[in-house]
Amino acid sequence: MRCFPSVVTFALLGVLCLVHLSGQARPVQVGLCTPLRNIEAAKAAGFDYLELGTSEIAALADADFEKAAADIKQLGLPIPATNLFLPAALKVTGPQIDREQQMAYVRKAFDRLSRLGTQIVVFGSGGARRIPDGFSKDEGFKQLVEFGRRIAPEARSRGITVVIEPLRREETNIINSAAEGLALVEAIDDPNFQLMIDFYHLASEREDPAIVLRANQHIRHLHMANPQGRVYPLEWEEYDYAPFFANLRKIGYDKRISVEASAKDFPSEAPRAIALLRRAFQP
């Protein structure tokens, strides 16, 4: 007489399989920072998602935004993150800030991004946050704290988290390191204002990748480029990437990483960069 597995046996095997899978870290998604005009090329290259420019989206006329939203929906790639938060003319430090103008822009931008399904807004905006000559850096930091505390509830109401992006000194004169970004996040003390790390800026500032371990509870997003020319990362041996990704694996980072770089041959280089970054998170 042949014996067949019982229904109960199959059920138990299914449960064990689900338990095993649930214990595995989900793969990190690889996206591309890109303007609207390049979204179709990004999909063709194999990116998991797009990271568009907030200021580009906010500046569109209503009819143009509706068309862009329809084009994005038809394309079928999600927009979970955006960058280029504030136009340079919208100052958030210095003696000429206009809080009402800031909030009008932020609300319009967040309203549009929420329609696109955006969850992370990267706050780089080196020009907007640059402290004017002769203005106190301590006062500028306080203004950033106050701005963060004002916009975080607006972000929260739309399912968005703002993440501060430390930028190299050539691009701004405040929040140049992940350690300084972490200090800002801790001063604002709001769950919807957190930290991201761009490897290009981290390497340019010669910051110790161990900051990943210290900031692990606050890191929500990453940007990536080969610091030698700010080009696509293509080979593991081209730069010392290992300590950075080892620390990310150590903290169990499982969110997203966006390529923000230039390419000489996009159709060829983009898939290689995607493959490299996916391997970088594997044990």
Architecture of domain 26-280: Alpha-Beta Barrel (3.20)
- pLDDT at residue 191, as a whole number: 98
Where does the pLDDT of residue 26 fall: very low under 50, low under 70, confident under 90, or very high at 90 and above?
A: confident
Q: Is the CA virtual torsion 19, 23, 24, 29 positive or negative?
A: positive
Where does the pLDDT of residue 145 fall: very low under 50, low under 70, confident under 90, or very high at 90 and above?
A: very high
**Res 131 pLDDT > 90:** yes
Instruction: Report, as an integer, the average pLDDT of 217-236.
Output: 98
Name which of 27, 31, 74 is nearest 52 in CA terms. Answer: 31
* CB burial of residue 43 (10 Å; 0-12, 13-18, 19+): middle
**Res 280 pLDDT > 80:** yes
The answer, as to whether pTM is greater than 0.85, is: yes
Q: What is the CA radius of gyration of the chain?
A: 21
**Res 94 pLDDT > 70:** yes
Q: Which residues pair with 163 in a beta bridge?
A: 122, 194
Task: State which amino acid sits at residue 221.
Answer: H
Q: What are phi and psi for residue 227, nearest 5 degrees?
A: -60, -20
- pLDDT at residue 25, as a whole number: 59
